[in-house]
A and B are shown apart, each in its own frame.
Chain A
Amino acid sequence: MKIEIVSAAFNPWEQLQAYEQTLTIPRSKWGAVANFVGTMRDYNVGDTVKSMLLEYYPGMTEKYLQTISERALTQWDILDTLIIHRVGQVQPGDTLVLVAAWAGHRAPALEACRFLIEELKSRAPFWKKETLEQGSRWVENHTAI
């Protein structure tokens, strides 16, 4: 299990591959790796978004992500999980989040991955402030799934 908050741009595919290298469970036991990668868009509710500040609660955010990872490992028959989340100033096209779950079969891998990203989205302490063409605003509501 790995949780990481990063303040610089990261390549999710490199991170996924690098973490796989550290797994002690042999590849022949996995069967399935489900992952989700979230990327910053350049628009939101009809406006062009130039950049965004991602604020978090150092300590609590990691603790919450650890809690949901442990829940996923208990609730589903999965082997391991990975969450990497970007914070700070981000630009459209930047990767914001990577979530992955390894399992023997696809159903638990997909379900655990979905659980992690939805829990992260709805309960993990992150806040977004968008910079628009004119001014800036805090994002107050979730947009569509």
Chain B
Amino acid sequence: MTIVVKFFGSLREEIGKSEVKLTAEQPLTVAQVWAQACDEAPLHHHIWTAVNMTYVDQNTLVQDGDEVAFFPPVTGGSDEN
């Protein structure tokens, strides 16, 4: 199965890429997707995760064709007022 993995914000810069495509033999959890996409780097608890543009936790199972996103906590565009 094929999974699209996206990174945003400071995480995108740290990882050095905005998107990767993964292939897997069986369904993976979000945490396993991270491990495969980021060479087994630890997935910190504060990192936010989404599957198909909906917030999920790191144990969620990912299916073929899903889009998985990892990003730092959001900082909005309007919090200063």
Question: A residues within 8 Å of B by Cβ?
Answer: 36-41, 44, 54-55, 57, 59-60, 63-64, 85-87, 96-97, 117, 120-129, 138-145
Give the contacting residue for B79; candidates A87, A125, A143; CB below 8 A. A143
Give the total number of A-B pairs whose CB atoms are below 8 A apart: 86
If A120-B76, A122-B76 touch, whether A127 touches B53 (CB-CB below 8 Å) is: no
Main secondary structure of the interface of A (DSSP, over half): mixed
Contacts of B73 in A (CB 8 A): 140
Which residue in chain B gives the minimum CB-CB distance to A99?
B78
Instruction: Say whether, besides A127-B72, A140-B72, A59 and B53 are in contact (CB < 8 Å).
Output: yes
Q: Are A97 and B50 in contact (CB under 8 A)?
A: no
A120 — which chain B residues lie within 8 A by C-beta? 76, 78
Residues of A within 8 A of B59 (CB): none
A38 closest partner in B (C-beta): B78
Q: Which residues of A contact B30 (CB under 8 A)?
A: none
**Residue numbers in B under 8 Å from A37 (CB-CB):** 81
B78–A138 CB distance below 8 A: no
B41 smallest CB distance to A (angstroms) = 18
**How near does chain A come to B8, taking the closest CB pair, in angstroms?**
6
Cβ 8 A contact of B75, one of A38, A64, A87, A140 = A140
Residues of B within 8 A of A117 (CB): 78
Starting from the known contacts A57-B6, A126-B76, 8 additional A-B residue pairs (CB-CB under 8 Å) come to: A36-B78, A57-B71, A125-B8, A125-B50, A125-B71, A128-B77, A129-B9, A138-B9
Identify which of A44, A54, A143, A144 contacts B77 (C-beta below 8 A): A54
Q: Which residue of the partner chain, among A57, A64, A121, contacts B78 with CB atoms under 8 Å?
A: A121
Closest chain B residue, CB of each to CB of A41: B80
> B8 near A141 (CB under 8 angstroms)?
no
7 pairs from A and B in contact (CB 8 Å cutoff):
A36-B78, A38-B81, A63-B54, A97-B78, A122-B74, A125-B50, A126-B76
Residue pair B79, A127 in contact (C-beta under 8 Å): no
Query: Whose C-beta in chain A lies nearest to the C-beta of B9?
Result: A127
Asked whether A57 lies within 8 Å of B53 as measured between CB atoms, the reply is yes
